[in-house]
Amino acid sequence: MQLEILYTITILIGEFLSHTIHPMERIGIVVFPGSNCDRDVHRALNHDLKIPADLVWHANSKLSSYDSFVIPGGFSYGDHLRAGAIAAHTPAVEELKKKANKGRMILGICNGFQILVECGLLPGALVTNKSLCFICGWTNIRVETNTTAFTSLLSLGQTIKIPIAHGQGRYIVDKQILASISKKNQVVFRYCQNNPNGSTDSIAAVCNEDRNVMGIMPHPERVPAFGIGHEASLIFRSLWDHLTG
């Protein structure tokens, strides 16, 4: 009984928030056919971190009323052709590109990272892991820059624990691009201790030149919001801090 009341209250508060907060101040979680971490991100943001966010189907016209986005993990369009390749050609991604050019914030996680790379918002490519196997487990990543809106609450050089789960997570860039993104400080996280997928220079996350779009292979939505291992959730908190000033 008590629990039910609690749920009802939570739902009421949720509804209250969704009515009082303008979509501009909410995060849109873009759902493609085959996305499968969308509900997890939704839960982590709304329930654990109390950051207002909505699931938005990619073909829904409401998408354009949001100003900041998370593209969740999963297998959009079944990962056919290449992970992220087909989603990158949808009108929804065209819309996101426009928003990105206006400086809006976009965070791509796992498959979201793959989509951002495929649509050209981020440099490089993500290909099949060096081991040829899907890998799931926890790994350590190091903060390479905290001058992004996604890492402002983390300290430079800090190592955090975070889950990974991907089959095509090997980040590839050629020498020129690598030199350029290193120079412009666009590498946001690197795997440390071991490189689970064979990424160039152990890169786990990159951002664009304007630093408003970031792609990350590991899954920050899978860590607890409090207690041991919560550090990765500071990625979302940093973003929210930035959005709410």
Partner 1 sequence: MTIENKPYVSDPEGETILRDLIMRGGYANVIGVRVAKSLKLKVKAKNKKIAEENARTMCESLRIFNPVVSNCSITAIPKIKPLARGHSKTRHNRR
Partner 2 sequence: MGSPYWIGRVTEAFLAALTKEELTYLSKELKREPNRLEKEIIAAEWSEHCSYKSSKKYIKKLPNEGKHVLIGPGYDAGVLDVGDGYVVTVHIESHNHPSAVDPYGGSSTGVGGVIRDIISMGTRPIALLDSLRFAPISKHESANSDSGWLLKNVVKGIGDYGNCIGVPTVGGEVEFDASFADYCLVDVVSIGIGSGKSTVRNTASWGDIIILVGGATGRDGINGAAFASKKYERKERSAVQIADPFTEKLLIEAILEGIESDIIKALKDLGGGGLSCCLSEMSDNLGLGFNIELDQIHIKESGMSPIELMISESQERMVVVVDPTDAKEIGQIFRKYGLRFTTIGKVENHGNLIIKNKKRIAAQLPSHLVANAPLAYRAFKKPAYLLDLNRRQPPVFSPLDLSDTLFLMLSNPTIASKKWIYSQYDFEVGLRTKLQPGIADASVLRLDNGKHLAIKLDGNSKHCYIDPYNGTLGCLSEACRNITCTGATPIGVVDHLQFGNPENPDIFWSFRQAVKAVTDFCKFAKVPVVGGKVSFYNETNRGPIKPTPVIGAIGLIQRGRPVLEARLKEGDTLFVIGNTLEELGGSEYYEFVHNFTGGKVPRVDLKNDQTNRNTVLYLVNNAKVSCMHDCSKGGIATAISEMAILGAVGFELDVDRIPNSCLSLEGILFSESHSRFLIGTQRPDDLENILSSVDGLIFSRIGKASNAKVSFRNEGKCIIDTNIHELTFHHNAIERIMIK
- Determine if 134 is a binding residue for partner 2 (CB under 8 A): yes
# of chain residues touching partner 2 (CB under 8 A): 31
Q: How far apart are CA 107 and CA 236, in angstroms?
A: 9
CA nearest to 189, candidates 169, 217, 168: 217
Please say whether the dihedral angle defined by the alpha carbons of residues 240, 42, 115 and 171, taken in this order, is positive or negative.
positive
Site stretch for partner 2 (CB under 8 A), options 88-96, 99-107, 132-140, 185-193: 132-140
Site stretch for partner 2 (CB under 8 A), options 127-135, 147-155, 200-208, 225-233: 127-135
- Determine if 18 is a binding residue for partner 1 (CB under 8 A): no
Phi, psi of 94 (to 5 degrees): -55, -45
- Determine if 191 is a binding residue for partner 2 (CB under 8 A): no
Is 198 in contact with 129 (CB distance < 8 Å)?
yes
- Determine if 209 is a binding residue for partner 1 (CB under 8 A): no
Is 191 in contact with 202 (CB distance < 8 Å)?
yes
* Window 37-96: residues binding partner 2 (CB under 8 A): 37, 39-40, 43-44, 57, 59, 73-75, 77-80
Identify which of residues 37 and 206 has a Cβ nearer to partner 2 in the complex: 37
In the set 119, 222, 235, 239, which binds partner 2 (CB under 8 A)?
222
Per-residue DSSP letters for 80-112? -SSTTTTGGGSHHHHHHHHHHHTT-EEEEETHH
Where on the chain is the footprint of partner 1 (CB under 8 A)? 77-78, 80-82, 85-86, 88-89, 118, 123-125, 127-128, 130-132, 172-175, 177, 198
